[in-house]
């Protein structure tokens, strides 16, 4: 590659922090009972049996709540091709906000306490800021909802031809589909059938194309990339467990116009399962297998402990690139088998220009969470 003159930058002190926080409230149902004394009086000559109607009703209500508690469960799952946070100090990007691009996302929520018990989504592009660039033609989302009654909703595969969104990104033809299914009150979808499923795919993705003169796109994926999620029950005798699966299908990545290339040998996948029985909840994570080639054509060692690795770019000494392989970044599995949750990132890229961070990219972030009652789901 022919060297290019260093870009001139305005050094500005700026700190960037990104965080993904997922929090779900857990509601505890409780019952109450009432009681009253039997009527007595001088005329009473024998014990009189009495029925306390309010207490009986309260007892039934309590038992009903107790039974419901053995059924309530939830799941949250999400897979995404990439998330790119771009600062307004990046050359060619104007505006006073941080750009937060979320590309190719498939997600779902199951919550038996909600009116819509199962919600499944597919979105080509989301985010905020966007440097005042009009992305209305790309902000396309598909949603399928099911419950509380038996039924399903499906949005069949749709093909989307996006509008150019330079200087932030370019996308080729995109597709998406989503489906949600429910089996009615206090029941589970039988036979291992999916409760939710969705996918989002796009072709020939380029983030910040030509934003640094002479270096091509900051990040490019030449080919079709996708994100997929699905959820299902795990039948076990009379009580069921719950499973959530998130995965991405990546294409080979090129950084700075393929100055640094990343070959994707295999894709990442995360599976969360919970049964409600001790020792029977788990997270199964299969990391992506990547091979990186640096600007000089030599292989770049991949740190196995998640530590960052610096890659020099001789063609422009002002550019800095840090690569990190976080893998699982947040995992919790309860010993009683009721809860399993985790988040992961396949690859993190931090780009600096003249010492100023201009982009922070997370490739293939995955998230899964399942929670079931003690002993499993009574359905």
The pLDDT confidence band at residue 191, using thresholds 50, 70 and 90, is confident
Q: Does the pLDDT of residue 21 top 50, yes or no? A: no
pLDDT tens for 80-110 read 999 988 776 666 665 555 778 889 999 999 9
Q: Which one has a higher pLDDT value, 12 or 154?
A: 154
Q: Give Cα separations from 194 to 118, 152, 342 (angstroms).
A: 11, 11, 21
Task: Indicate if the pLDDT at residue 258 is higher than 80.
Answer: yes
Number of domains in the chain: 1
Q: What confidence tens digit (pLDDT) does each residue in 227-241 have?
A: 999 999 998 778 999
Distance CA(163)–CA(141), nearest Å, equals 15
Dist. CA 150–CA 135, nearest whole Å: 37
pLDDT value at position 209? 80
Q: Is the pLDDT of residue 248 over 70?
A: yes
Name which of 102, 199, 78 is nearest 142 in CA terms.
199
Could you tell me if residue 354 is inside a domain?
no
**Coil, strand or helix at 231:** strand
The reported pTM is 0.79
**Which residue reads 């009703």 in tokens?**
57
- In this predicted structure, the answer to whether residue 20 has a pLDDT above a threshold of 50 is no
Give the three-class secondary structure for 63.
helix
Count of beta carbons in the 10 Å neighbourhood of residue 327: 17
Q: Distance (Å, rounded) from C-alpha 205 to C-alpha 222?
A: 7
Q: 44-58, 244-258, 277-291 — which is least confidently predicted?
A: 44-58
pLDDT for 135? 57
Mean pLDDT of 306-329: 88
Query: What is the predicted pLDDT for the residue at 283?
Result: 98
The whole-angstrom separation of Cα 228 and Cα 104 is 9
> What are 149's strand-pairing partners?
none
Closest CA to 74 of 379, 375, 303, 372: 372
What average pLDDT does the chain have?
A: 80
- DSSP of 65-99: HHHHHTT--EEEEEEEEEEEEE-TTSTT--SSS-E
What percentage of the chain has pLDDT greater than the value 90? 50
Task: Please check whether residue 375 lies inside any domain of the structure.
Answer: no
Q: What's the rounded Cα separation, in Å, for the pair 12 and 354?
A: 9
Domain annotation covers residue 92? yes
**Which domain range does residue 200 map to?**
74-308+332-349
Percent of the chain topping pLDDT 70: 73
Per-residue pLDDT at 37: 39
343, 54 Cβ separation under 8 angstroms: no
Phi, psi of 58 (to 5 degrees): -65, -40
Start-end of H helices in the chain: 53-69
Please, which pLDDT band fits residue 287 given cuts at 50, 70 and 90? very high
Supply the pLDDT for residue 7. Answer: 36
Q: Is residue 379 part of a domain?
A: no
Residue 51 falls within a domain, yes or no? no
pLDDT in tens, 114-155: 999 999 999 988 776 555 555 555 556 899 999 999 999 999
Average pLDDT for 262-277: 97
Contact 198, 180 (CB under 8 A): no
pLDDT of amino acid 1: 38
What is the distance between the alpha carbons of residues 45 and 58, in angstroms, rounded to a whole number? 31
- C-beta of residue 122 within 8 angstroms of C-beta of residue 104: no
Tens digits of per-residue pLDDT, 352-368? 888 888 889 999 999 99
Q: Is residue 13 part of a domain?
A: no
Q: Is residue 62 part of a domain?
A: no
CA distances from 196 to 99, 108, 273, 372 (A): 30, 7, 15, 17
The 10s digit of each residue's pLDDT in 151-177 is 999 999 888 776 566 677 888 888 999
Flag whether 320 is in a domain: no
Q: How many CB atoms lie within 10 A of CB 272?
A: 29
């Amino acid at each position: 590659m022919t060297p290019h003159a260093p870009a001139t930058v305005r050094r500005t002190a700026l700190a960037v922090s990104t965080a993904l926080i997922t929090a779900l409230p857990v509601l505890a149902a409780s019952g109450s009972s009432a009681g009253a004394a039997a009527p007595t009086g001088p005329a009473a000559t024998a014990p009189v049996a009495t029925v306390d109607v309010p207490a009986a009703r309260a007892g039934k209500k309590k038992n009903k709540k107790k039974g419901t508690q053995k059924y309530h469960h939830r799941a949250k799952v999400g897979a995404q091709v990439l998330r790119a946070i771009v600062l307004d100090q990046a050359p060619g990007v104007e505006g006073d906000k941080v750009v937060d691009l979320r590309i190719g996302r498939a997600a779902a929520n199951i919550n038996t306490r909600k009116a819509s018990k199962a919600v499944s989504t597919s979105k080509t592009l989301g985010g905020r800021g966007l440097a005042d660039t009009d992305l209305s033609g790309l902000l396309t989302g598909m949603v399928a909802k099911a419950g509380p009654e038996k039924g399903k909703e499906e949005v069949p595969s749709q093909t989307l031809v996006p509008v150019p969104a330079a200087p932030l990104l370019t996308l080729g033809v995109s597709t998406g589909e989503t489906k949600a299914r429910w089996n009615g009150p206090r029941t589970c979808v039988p036979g291992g059938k999916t409760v939710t499923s969705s996918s989002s795919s796009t072709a020939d993705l380029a983030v910040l194309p030509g934003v640094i003169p002479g270096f091509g796109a900051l990040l490019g994926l030449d080919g079709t990339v996708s994100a997929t999620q699905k959820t299902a029950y795990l039948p076990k005798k009379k009580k069921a467990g719950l499973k959530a699966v998130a995965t991405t299908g990546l294409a080979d990545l090129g950084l700075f116009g393929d100055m640094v290339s990343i070959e994707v040998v295999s894709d990442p996948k995360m599976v969360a399962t919970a049964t409600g029985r001790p020792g029977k909840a788990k997270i199964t994570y299969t990391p992506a297998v990547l091979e990186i080639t640096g600007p000089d054509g030599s292989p770049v060692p991949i740190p196995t402990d998640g530590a960052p690795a610096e890659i020099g770019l001789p063609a422009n000494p002002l550019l800095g690139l840090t690569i990190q392989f976080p893998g699982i970044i947040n995992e919790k599995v309860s010993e009683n088998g009721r809860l399993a949750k985790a988040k992961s990132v396949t690859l993190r890229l931090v780009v600096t220009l003249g010492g100023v961070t201009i982009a922070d990219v997370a490739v293939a972030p995955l998230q899964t969470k399942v929670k079931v009652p003690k002993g499993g789901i009574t359905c």
